[in-house]
């Protein structure tokens, strides 16, 4: 229950910071939205045994993860924009297979969504039994599993493993 209250408070604080209108209507709607978020996805974030054992460590690495994700998105945005501006720049689109050591549904979901949020890559499928993700990549730089994994997955996987595993 304590974790759900903490998730509610973080959701409500995020709502207040993102809307930034200190009138009572926005604050009341934020309460309902935050409660709805906790009701719908509260167990997704709280069910992990690791999260309940080391909550401060998980929050620390979650705070470290946000700048990494933003930085990777910025780099990828510039790469895709450069390819659009210079149409003669060759691209080699395709689907690559990458391995992951993450096991929990939450960690795999965060990894797949982080890859999809990064321009130029999109998660297509997850084979949980084999620990494999299939990624559409706008410019394949490595066709082997190890090379593609190192280029696409490792930057996210290291921190996500500390949060969710």
What ranges do the domains of the chain cover? 2-46, 55-164
- Among 6-15, 27-36, 112-121, where is mean pLDDT lowest? 6-15
User: CA–CA separation, 72 vs 75, rounded Å?
Assistant: 5
Its pTM stands at 0.73
User: Could you report the per-residue pLDDT of 99-156, keeping only the tens digit for each?
Assistant: 999 988 888 989 999 999 999 999 999 988 888 999 999 989 888 889 999 999 998 9
Q: Please give the DSSP secondary-structure letter assigned to residue 141.
A: S
Among the listed residues 53, 69, 49, 165, the one whose alpha carbon sits nearest the alpha carbon of residue 116: 69
pLDDT of residue 21: 74
Of the chain, the end-to-end C-alpha distance in Å amounts to 21
């Amino acid at each position: 229950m304590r974790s759900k209250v903490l998730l509610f408070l973080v959701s409500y604080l995020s709502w207040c910071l993102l809307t930034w209108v200190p009138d009572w209507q926005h604050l009341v709607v934020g309460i309902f939205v935050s409660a709805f978020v906790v009701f719908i996805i509260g167990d997704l974030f709280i069910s992990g045994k690791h999260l309940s054992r080391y909550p401060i460590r998980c929050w620390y690495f979650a705070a470290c993860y946000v700048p990494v994700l933003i930085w990777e998105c910025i780099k990828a945005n510039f790469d895709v924009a450069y390819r659009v501006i210079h149409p003669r720049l060759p691209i080699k689109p395709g689907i690559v297979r990458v391995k992951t050591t993450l096991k929990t549904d939450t960690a795999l979901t965060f990894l797949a969504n982080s890859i999809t949020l990064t321009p130029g890559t999109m998660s297509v499928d997850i084979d949980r039994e084999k620990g494999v993700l299939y990624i559409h990549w706008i410019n394949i730089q490595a066709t082997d599993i190890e090379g593609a994994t190192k280029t696409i997955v490792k930057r996210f996987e290291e921190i996500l493993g500390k949060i969710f595993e």
